[in-house]
Structure 1
Amino acid sequence: MAHQHVHSHNHTLTSLNSIFIVCIIINLLFVIIEAGAGFLFNSLGLLSDAGHNLSDVFSLLLSLFAFRMSKHHSTDHFTYGYKKSTVLVSLLNAIILLIAVGAIIIESFYKLKQPEHVSGAAVSWTAGIGILVNGVTAWLLMKNQKHDLNVRGAFLHMAMDTLVSIGVVISGIIIILTGFVLIDTIISLVIAILILISTWKLLKESLFLSLDAVPESIHIHELEQHIAQVPGVESFHHFHVWAMSTTENAATIHIVLKDLLQMEEVKHAVKAELREHGIQHSTIECEAPGSRCDDSCCCK
């Protein structure tokens, strides 16, 4: 059973590595095309979207690096291995996106004061390619995004980029039909707002996980009720839950038993309850009936 679990886990990581490599290549090629078109046709919308896509490429590279690091075995100094690198990379990706948003907003206000001619046809055709590239990338990441914060962040960014590219196509069509070149700058501001909205949750969750907060996927109060109802549990304290990585969670808990003879049964039941709620690694300490916690803030 253990062998099957490890095989499945390694297969998932290998699959994700391949997916990330494909996504990186196609997005990097598109960044080069989009940036070239932006400079050639003087489109802030294309340049800002290219800058954002470049940050996505960097984010994908970081995520790939974090996944590979998480596969390394533990050492005497890093007893958990390098699993936490996936959380730190998620936080770094969110920060990079916020910096990109700031750069887009500053440049947009500059362009509002000094609008320049933009080729609507070039903008539309280039962004049309972006819809295809970002859409394919989001589709490749969609399957695994529910189970990993890094993959979810990448998926949300690519899905949002697809919508952004649709917006840029619309701005190009408006320029062709009306000659209203300011729409390109307005669209770039809309891009910045959309990026900010999509990044906020990633930033908040990554920051919380880096501070060892309870992962959002775990409903702690519901879990506490289930543990309290396990037969043989008198009470519990020093219950801590944190993320070892973006895919693995850990917990420690002190269980006060009703009967010491039930120790093994209670430990097995509590571990099963923790696994059911998404906690793969747990350390359980059992205490004699009537034991009291010496730290009131950790008692339940």
Structure 2
Amino acid sequence: MPHDHDHSHAHHDHTPDHFGVAFAIATALNLTLVIGQVWYGLAANSLALLADAGHNFGDVMGLVLAWGAIAIANWKPSNRFTYRMHAASILSAFANGVILLVATGAIASEAIRRFSEPQPVASTTVMAVAALAVVVNGVSAWLLSRGSKSDLNVRGAFLHMVGDAGVSVAVIAAAGGIMLTGWQWLDPVASLLIAAVILWGTWGLLRESIRLTLNAAPREIDPHDVRQYLSGLAQVENVHDLHIWAMSTKETALSCHVVTPQGHPGDAFLQQVAHELHHRFDVGHATVQIELAQGSCSLQCESTV
């Protein structure tokens, strides 16, 4: 028996063009900040300030990768890349995570060494530069705040900027503590705390990017709920070969076979299903195959659990 396929595409809200300007300004601000932090971190002999510079450099790379991934994802589809290059954002998230892990290891190693070889820190310089970092990260977060609700990439960058402002506050606190007490060990302690914060955020980023690379269903979607919705539709007797995967960090695709023994439910049914999948589960690209009898799939089908 012939199978009917329906490819329904919901409208996608791509990152507006003006966010390219926001990314450019945020990247320039943070790159300037990194250069200043490295310069004064070396001059003040502050590992905490250098650690914060490493963190902010990771943010610069993340901003550039996310910005580049958005641009690449909007390239026209080709004969080979029929989905365009939407998955570039997933690869950029993974690359960003690896870069941050390497930076974290270097920071932690140097902090441990300084416990046995404490070195004096110019607290006033550290506090001034860290305060500047709070301002820069605050401005960067503000620039990206408008898109943080509608675009996962922009939201990730926004949250990273907010988190960085908090890390810089920790650097200020450590420098202030050294100024008041003379305890030089507060600098490597602050560095280890910063490394822990980076590791915490990076682990989640790496785990999710690896899951999406392996075509796992996005964390926000429960396949059981999707199956339950489809199975409860009028005329639908069974649902099988349900697959849900991420096309990018903000777009999700779905394909499935639905059995309707009473006959083809019509185009209106398929359009309504696509609309509900988008509305309920944020699935932007749904492909539904209609089968009129159980087991009528002419190809070998692999049902999901």
Structure 1 match to 2:61: 58
The separation in 2 between residues aligned to 1:261 and 1:98, in whole angstroms, is 53
Structure 2 match to 1:175: 178
Structure 1: which 5+ runs fail to align? none
Q: What are the Cα deviations for residues 99-146 of structure 1, in whole angstroms up to 9, with x where unaligned?
A: 111110011111111111101111111101111111222233333334
Across the two proteins, how many residue pairs are aligned to each other?
Answer: 294
The separation in 1 between residues aligned to 2:259 and 2:268, in whole angstroms, is 13
The separation in 2 between residues aligned to 1:157 and 1:261, in whole angstroms, is 49
User: Secondary structure of 1:13's match?
Assistant: coil
Shift of 1:157: 2.2
Task: Give me the identity figure in percent.
Answer: 37
Q: What are the Cα deviations for residues 141-161 of structure 1, in whole angstroms up to 9, with x where unaligned?
A: 333334444333322322221
Of 152-161 and 206-215, more deviation after overlay is shown by 152-161
Is the CA contact (8 Å cut-off) linking 1:87 and 1:206 kept in structure 2? yes
Q: Which amino acid aligns with 1:290?
A: Q
Greater length-normalized contact order (CA 8 Å, ≥ 6 residues apart): 2
User: Secondary structure of 2:237's match?
Assistant: strand
The separation in 1 between residues aligned to 2:210 and 2:149, in whole angstroms, is 19
Is the CA contact (8 Å cut-off) linking 1:135 and 1:159 kept in structure 2? yes
Is the CA contact (8 Å cut-off) linking 1:254 and 1:287 kept in structure 2? yes
Structure 1 match to 2:133: 130
Choose which of 204, 229, 234 in structure 1 pairs with 2:232: 229
Q: What are the Cα deviations for residues 53-91 of structure 1, in whole angstroms up to 9, with x where unaligned?
A: 111111111111101001101001111111110111011
Shift of 1:296: 8.2
Is the CA contact (8 Å cut-off) linking 1:160 and 1:195 kept in structure 2? no
Q: Which amino acid aligns with 2:285?
A: H
Structure 2 match to 1:280: 284
Shift of 1:299: 5.7
User: Secondary structure of 1:238's match?
Assistant: strand
1:217 maps onto 2:226 in alignment: no
The separation in 1 between residues aligned to 2:262 and 2:101, in whole angstroms, is 54
Q: What are the Cα deviations for residues 213-236 of structure 1, in whole angstroms up to 9, with x where unaligned?
A: 101122222121111111111111
The separation in 2 between residues aligned to 1:233 and 1:17, in whole angstroms, is 45
Q: CA 1:261/1:167 → structure 2, altered by over 3 Å: closer, same or farther?
A: closer
The separation in 1 between residues aligned to 2:27 and 2:288, in whole angstroms, is 42
Structure 2 match to 1:298: 303
Correspondence list, 1:1-300, <5 A:
9=13, 12-276=15-279, 277-291=281-295, 298=303
Of 234-243 and 262-271, more deviation after overlay is shown by 262-271
User: Secondary structure of 1:241's match?
Assistant: strand
Q: Which amino acid aligns with 1:47?
A: L
Q: What are the Cα deviations for residues 157-188 of structure 1, in whole angstroms up to 9, with x where unaligned?
A: 22221111001111111111111111011100
Is the CA contact (8 Å cut-off) linking 2:264 and 2:290 kept in structure 1? no
Scaled by the length of structure 2, the TM-score of the pair is 0.90
